[in-house]
Structures are given as structure tokens and as C-alpha cells.
A and B are shown apart, each in its own frame.
Chain A
Amino acid sequence: MRNVYLDYSATTPVKEEVLKEMIPYFTEKFGNPSSLYDKGLESKDAVTHAREQVADLINAKPSEVYFTAGGTESDNWALFGTAEKLKSKGNHIITTKIEHHAILHSCAYLEKEGYEVTYLDIDKDGRISLKQLEEAITDKTILISIMLVNNEIGTVQPIKEAAAIAKKHGVLFHTDAVQGLGNVDIDVKDMGVDMMSMSSHKIYGPKGSGALYIRKGVVIDNYLHGGAQENRRRAGTENLTGIVGFGKAAELAKANFKGHVEHCSSLRNYLKDRIISEIPDTYVNGTMENRHPGNLNITFKYIEGESILLLLNQFGISVSTGSACSSTSLEPSHVLTALGVPVEMIHGTVRFTVGDFTTKEDIDYVVDNLKKIVARLREISSVNSKKGW
């Protein structure tokens, strides 16, 4: 059976070139980067090199890149580190309703600790209002955290403009760029952000590896306490292979950026055009303008997403869904809810994300099977266009 992976926003395979770089650091080059003999220095050099590769991708100085265990840790560090550091200044944080749970659940925790959090709305296109952002700022605001690219609907937020507003009011600005890295232009200097979260496994690097960019001069509390690694700001023996792999993946992301974006967006658009024209009662969620090049989020009316996912899986096709039925909490996607999509429509949403290894034949295979699957589930469904909901 054919295998078609269309969930590149969930994670990506490690590229051969990346794996090749990593392998020696498991075996012969295993030294601890903190050790003073050659075997340690060799590892330290590898970490230094990877830091340059990541810095290069985002136009930062290498000294502004701190390696972490991934996007989640970077988000947690930015939030808790800032909250703790600036608690004498204020207790108010501004974020959005559509952040990843790494931000939302950290904010919920901070609320229990007495912090106040404002969650910005998004409009029908999936974007925040800069006016609402500016109006939300008070003299107690210590941090604004707005994601660069949303993981479900792929919409890109106006980070440069939002960061300028933060700066005007003297508030620190963090962005979760986990989905944006390698997929949209990122220049931390031009964007004017103070902190930015990144993750390796979304850009064809290994899992459990990532980084937090902290602009020179920005001081937040540490989150992990222990040894003197990462310039005394993030303790713990370095995830050497993870860091080397992340560095190589970042280098490739920079070198292939244009080709990657063109490849993904043309296949994504082809997938969208075929679905919309060949399957009735289907809708795109979020605007197609200024969107993650590989992301497509579609509602198939009158049917439920987990059923679609399971049937696609029978054909070797991997996708994800925002349906309530597929989440452990039985809550519909908070992103689609914020977008104003009615619950019964959220039920039938599927997220497709294409990536570097997707081919046109893959897309044809998916659409051909999808047509049959949707027709079949609509036959089984108790709701339809004639009966209504």
C-alpha cells in the first residue's frame, strides 16, 4: 500500500543529510562539551557550529541562541522566566486565543499563581487586531506573546507590527515561531522581537531539540537550574546529537528556503483546488493569504473528522483533525472555535500539511480516496444538505 504522510506540521522525518551529521556524535564523538580535554572540545565546537547555523537562519547573533529540549520548553521558559523576573513590575500578560497549548497551559498555570492574562481574538481570516492589542496594554503588562504561524490554520500574524507596539509601551515581546521556522521569512532584527521559540523536529531535524532566541540585553529568569551550560542560562548536559541535527536542519532550511516554499505551496494549492472543485460542501478555514506554505485546513460538512482520519489511515494516508471526537477532552479545536467556525462544522475539519517529500502523485492518490471516503461517510451520516443539521 502507498504511504502518504500529510501531517508535516505535527512532525517531519529527519533528512538523510541531517542524520549523517548526527551519527558520529552518538558514538566516537560522544564527549561532554563541558570537558576540557580534546574529546570535550570537539563536542563544544560542534555545539558552537550548530548555534551559528541556527542563528544564521533567523539573522541573530550566535550568542542570542539558547538550545532547549524543544518548542514546549522554549515557550515555558519565555513565559515563566519573564513572569518571575518582572513580577515586581507587573502581573499582566497578553497572548492570543489561538496559541499552542505550550503557551495556553503555561498561561493558565500563571493565572492560578495570580497573574492576569488577556487572550486576544482573531478575525474571520485568523488574524489578531493590532488595535485590540494596543488597547489591552496596561501599566501592569510585562509580556506580550503572539505566535508567528498558527499550527492548525497556518495563518501568519503581523509580528513586526505587534512587536513595534510592544516596544512603544516598553513591554517585552515573545513569539512562538515553531511553525514559522523554515516556512516563512524570519529575521529577528527586522521583526524586532525580544524572544522567539523554535523547534527542530518541524524542520526535518530530530525531536526533543529546539532553541529560544533571547535578544542581547534581555534578561529573564532561568527555567532549568543546574550546571553552567548555555552561558549559565539553561542547565543540563547538552543534547549533543539533537543540537548537531538541529543545526544542520537549520542550515538546509536556509539553503532550500525558496524551493521549499514554492514546492509546498504549489502542491498545497493543487490539493485545495482539487478538493474544493471535486467534493461538494467543503470549505477552507482561515485565509489563503499569508499562510504557512504547506497548510490546508478544510471542513467537510455533515461528517466527522475522526472517521475521515481513520478511513484515510486505511489507505496509508496520515492527516489530523480538529474534531471534538478526536481530542481526549472532547473539546472542539480552540483555534477553529476562535475563528468562529460553528461546532458542527469543526467536527468535519481535517488539517493537511504537505512537505518536502510530498509529490503530485501523492496528492492525486489522496484526493481520489478522499472523494470515496467523504461520499461513503455522508451516506452513513444522519445529517445532510437536504435535512440540514
Chain B
Amino acid sequence: MALYNDIVMDHFLNPKNVGEIDNPDGTGIYGSPVCGDMMQIQIKVEGETITDAKFKTFGCGSAIASSSMATSMIIGKTIEEALEITNKQIIDELGGLPPVKVHCSVLADKAIKNAIYDYAQKNNKYYKALEGYDPEADEDDEHGEVEE
């Protein structure tokens, strides 16, 4: 059996939204405390809608696929809607990740939230979902059980 399913492989081999945005409205960077990888997500916002998102990722196949999926999921959504996305939803859209790779989707989830947080800070916006949000927090409790 292959390490990843077809959807994950497709997003890894043909990732969508790779790159950087000129004059982004928000930039989020997050490093995975578990394995030491790094992801950057940038967003363009018009009104309350995310009109574009781009990513750059230093990490494994599943981190790249999660970035591709996560950016695809937020484009066209309002900020409020994007904030509701969880790493679980990213995994579901990807058709599942191996347990040891769950934290790579957390990386994508955090990078999105950080990009929106950056946007909110710069524009003095208030979102309930960001109340008490800590962009640096180490969210690795989502980490799957490891079977040897």
C-alpha cells in the first residue's frame, strides 16, 4: 500500500496555489514543533472575502498536500468561514492522512489562522474566533498515535 492516497498524491504532485502574493493583505508563517518544518500562507482579501491565497512549504509530502488543499479551501470564503476550517476538515478533504502525518495538516491550519490574524492586526479587525489567539502556540496535541 502506498504511503498516501490518490488525492494526497495529486495535491503533492500538482500542488495548487504555490508561490507568493505581491502586497498580500495577510501573511502567516508557522513552523511545526514536531518535526521542524515550515509553512507560509499569504492571502488577498476584498471586502470580507478571501480572493486569493498562496503558499510556500518546507516539509514532507503531506505538508505540501495540506498546504495546497488548505489554500484551495479558503479561496472564495469569507474570513469568518475560513476561520471555521479545522485541520480535521483539511484531512477529510484529502481523504485521510496517515496518523503520524496528522500534524502536517495542523501546520496548514495554523498558517491560515496566522495569515488572517496578521490581516486582522493590520486592519484593526475583530473576529470572535481569534479571541485570545496565540499565533506562536504549539498545537501539537492533534498528533496521531504512532504505531511502530
Chain B residue numbers with a CB within 8 Å of A302 are 58
Give B1-59 interface residues, CB cut-off 8 Å to A: 3-4, 9, 12-13, 15, 18, 29, 34-40, 55-59
Q: Is the CB of B61 within 8 A of A380?
A: no
What residue of chain A has the Cβ atom nearest to residue B4's Cβ?
Answer: A310
- Name A324's contact: one of B3, B36, B40, B57 (CB within 8 Å): B36
What residue of chain B has the Cβ atom nearest to residue A348's Cβ?
Answer: B58
A315 CA to B64 CA in the complex, in Å? 19
Chain B residue numbers with a CB within 8 Å of A380 are 15, 18, 56-57, 64
**Is residue A381 within 8 Å, beta carbon to beta carbon, of the partner chain?**
yes
Chain A residue numbers with a CB within 8 Å of B40 are 382
Chain A residues in the interface with B (C-beta under 8 A)? 302-304, 306-307, 310-311, 314, 323-326, 328-330, 332, 343-344, 347, 379-383
Q: Is the CB of B12 within 8 A of A304?
A: no
What residue of chain B has the Cβ atom nearest to residue A305's Cβ?
Answer: B60
List 10 tightest A-B contacts by C-beta distance, closest first: A325-B60, A382-B56, A306-B60, A324-B35, A382-B40, A381-B58, A330-B35, A310-B61, A383-B58, A382-B58
A-B contact count (CB 8 A): 65
Looking at the assembled complex, report how far the CB atom of A388 sits from the nearest CB atom of chain B, in whole angstroms: 11
Chain B residue numbers with a CB within 8 Å of A306 are 60-61
Q: Is the CB of A304 within 8 A of B147?
A: no
Chain B residue numbers with a CB within 8 Å of A307 are 12, 59-61, 64
A304 CA to B64 CA in the complex, in Å? 10
**Is residue B148 within 8 Å, beta carbon to beta carbon, of the partner chain?**
yes
Q: Is the CB of A347 within 8 A of B37?
A: yes
A315 CA to B117 CA in the complex, in Å? 40
What residue of chain B has the Cβ atom nearest to residue A324's Cβ?
Answer: B35
Looking at the assembled complex, report how far the CB atom of B7 sits from the nearest CB atom of chain A, in whole angstroms: 15
- Provide a sorted-by-A list of 13 A–B residue pairs whose CB atoms are within 8 angstroms: A302-B58, A310-B9, A310-B12, A324-B35, A325-B37, A330-B100, A347-B58, A379-B18, A380-B56, A380-B64, A381-B57, A382-B38, A382-B58
Interface centre among A306, A311, A323, A379 (most CB of B within 10 A): A306
The answer to whether A326 and B60 touch (CB under 8 A), given A304-B37, A310-B3, A382-B39, is yes
A282 CA to B55 CA in the complex, in Å? 24
Chain A residue numbers with a CB within 8 Å of B104 are 325
Interface centre among B37, B40, B58, B100 (most CB of A within 10 A): B58
**Is residue B146 within 8 Å, beta carbon to beta carbon, of the partner chain?**
yes
Chain B residues in the interface with A (C-beta under 8 A)? 3-4, 9, 12-13, 15, 18, 29, 34-40, 55-61, 63-64, 100, 104, 146-148
Interface centre among B3, B9, B59, B147 (most CB of A within 10 A): B59
A330 CA to B34 CA in the complex, in Å? 7
What residue of chain A has the Cβ atom nearest to residue B59's Cβ?
Answer: A304
A325 CA to B35 CA in the complex, in Å? 6
What residue of chain A has the Cβ atom nearest to residue B3's Cβ?
Answer: A310
Q: Is the CB of B58 within 8 A of A303?
A: yes
8 further interface pairs, Cβ-Cβ under 8 Å (given A307-B60, A343-B36, A382-B29):
A307-B59, A310-B12, A310-B61, A324-B35, A329-B146, A330-B100, A347-B37, A380-B56
Chain A residue numbers with a CB within 8 Å of B34 are 330
The answer to whether A344 and B36 touch (CB under 8 A), given A302-B58, A307-B64, A310-B61, is yes
A182 CA to B123 CA in the complex, in Å? 67
Looking at the assembled complex, report how far the CB atom of A377 sits from the nearest CB atom of chain B, in whole angstroms: 8
Q: Is the CB of B13 within 8 A of A314?
A: yes
A330 CA to B102 CA in the complex, in Å? 12
A329 CA to B147 CA in the complex, in Å? 9
Interface centre among A306, A307, A347, A382 (most CB of B within 10 A): A382
Looking at the assembled complex, report how far the CB atom of B64 sits from the nearest CB atom of chain A, in whole angstroms: 6
Looking at the assembled complex, report how far the CB atom of A320 sits from the nearest CB atom of chain B, in whole angstroms: 13
What residue of chain B has the Cβ atom nearest to residue A346's Cβ?
Answer: B36
Q: Is the CB of A347 within 8 A of B61?
A: no
